[in-house]
Amino acid sequence: MADIISASFDCTVLDRDRNAAPADAGLRYDLIELLFFAYRDFVGEADSVLAEYGFWRAHHRVLHFVDRNPGIRVAELLAILKITKQSLGRVLKELVDKGFIEQRQGASDRRQRLLHTTAEGHALAYRLSELQNARIAAALAKLDPEASAAARTFLIELVNADERPDVERLIREKERAS
């Protein structure tokens, strides 16, 4: 787990001679770095909450997608997260052992492991989503509706092209269910 440092950022430490680096025409360092900083802060508050439970970001991702997709099969979760079965196994075991996720057998195929959050797991997933939603809502409140739609389009376009239809379908299904 990464150490969480709460010291404020001082950009003067990076104010070195930028002319010493070769020019990289066409690279959007502004957006690359903004994405790094936005991601850092987007997950930062959630990281602090997760640390209270001895969890980290991998636990958050598993908990989020299991909570949003009750009864999801392990294979489906692996496909969404793009992690190895071994990586998922370790994180999933901790979430099950601590009572945040439960595994149920499939009704038609008893070999299937269907994942569900427990009441405690749902409460934690919801708490983390509230934190992240507040950050998103505050940012979107500063945009007009067209810019808000453009932000969503921008994020979709960052997803690998061959996966966009599946990601958009997953999001639409969850929006309809909400």
> Residues 33-58: pLDDT tens digits?
999 999 999 999 999 999 999 999 99
CA-to-CA distance for 90 and 128, rounded, in angstroms? 21
CA-to-CA distance for 161 and 146, rounded, in angstroms? 23
Report pLDDT digits (tens) over 119-160: 999 999 999 999 999 999 999 999 999 999 999 999 999 999
CATH 1.10.10.10 positions along the chain are 28-142
Measured over the CA atoms of residue 64, residue 78, residue 83 and residue 170, the dihedral's sign is negative
Q: What sections of 9-144 are H helices per DSSP? A: 29-52, 57-68, 74-81, 85-97, 119-140
Question: What pTM does this model have?
Answer: 0.83
Report pLDDT digits (tens) over 76-104: 999 999 999 999 999 999 999 999 999 99
CATH 2.170.16.10 fits 28-142, yes or no: no
Strand partners, 113: 105
Measured over the CA atoms of residue 83, residue 42, residue 66 and residue 149, the dihedral's sign is negative
